[in-house]
């Protein structure tokens, strides 16, 4: 049985991906909460921490938003290396490196209990819809 890992108010998870969603930077908080080392995270797709309870529609919205150079914000449930989970209030935005290559930066902090409840209820409905159409 998986358990929830709670972030504290000082936790700030930061990661950066290339335009294909491959992790190119992970801070210490990301490693600590996810249970992965930097070497295990960097070079892998960011969706390696995606929890099965997250509907595809949520990430489709995220990608559609950031690809338009807009900032996306939402509550996300992620999984840890050992199968536990953690909730984050995520802000994702696009940027460019010094050579003009597109990259995406994600900053994640502790969500409120109300945010987690609202997100879980919304995601449960989206998952029901996805399962009906698949």
Q: For residue 89, give the CATH number of its domain.
A: 3.30.450.20
Q: Is residue 80 part of a domain?
A: yes
Contact 69, 116 (CB under 8 A): no
Number of separate domains in the chain: 1
Structural tokens at position 18: 């290339």
How far apart are alpha carbons 91 and 1 in whole angstroms?
Answer: 29
* Beta-bridge partner residues of 22: 45
Which domain covers residue 18, as residue numbers? 13-133
31-40, 56-65, 105-114: the lowest-pLDDT one: 56-65
For residue 45, is it within any domain? Answer: yes
Closest CA to 4 of 87, 76, 121: 87
CA 131 to mean position of chain CA atoms: 22
When pLDDT is averaged across residues 2-27 and rounded to a whole number, the result is: 96
How much of the chain, in percent, has pLDDT values that exceed 70? 98
Residue 132 pLDDT class (50, 70, 90 cuts): low
Give the pLDDT score at 107: 98
In a domain, 6, yes or no: no
Residue 3 lies in a domain: no
For 125: left if phi > 0, alpha if psi spans -120 to 50, otherwise beta; the answer is: alpha
Residue 49 lies in a domain: yes
pLDDT in tens, 41-74: 999 999 999 999 999 888 899 999 999 999 999 9
Indicate whether 130 pLDDT > 60: yes
> Residue 7 falls within a domain, yes or no?
no
| Confidence band of 90 (pLDDT split at 50, 70, 90) | very high
Average pLDDT in the 8-20 region?
96
Place of tokens 């930097």: 38
The residue behind tokens 């929890």 is 51
Q: For residues 105 and 92, what is the distance between their CA atoms, to the nearest angstrom?
A: 6
State if pTM tops 0.85. yes
> For residue 4, is it within any domain?
no
* Cα angle 75-90-1, degrees, rounded to a multiple of 5: 55
């Amino acid at each position: 049985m998986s358990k929830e890992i709670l972030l504290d108010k000082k936790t700030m998870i930061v990661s950066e991906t290339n335009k294909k969603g491959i992790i190119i930077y992970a801070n210490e908080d990301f490693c600590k909460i996810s249970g992965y080392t930097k070497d295990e995270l960097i070079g892998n797709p960011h969706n390696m921490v995606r929890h099965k309870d997250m509907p595809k529609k949520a990430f489709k919205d995220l990608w559609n938003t950031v690809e338009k150079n807009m900032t996306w914000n939402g509550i996300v449930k992620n999984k840890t290396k050992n199968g536990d989970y953690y909730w984050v209030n995520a802000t994702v935005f696009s940027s460019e490196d010094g050579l003009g290559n597109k990259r995406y930066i994600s900053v994640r902090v502790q969500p409120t209990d109300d945010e987690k409840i609202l997100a879980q209820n919304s995601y449960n409905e989206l998952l029901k819809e996805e399962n009906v159409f698949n």
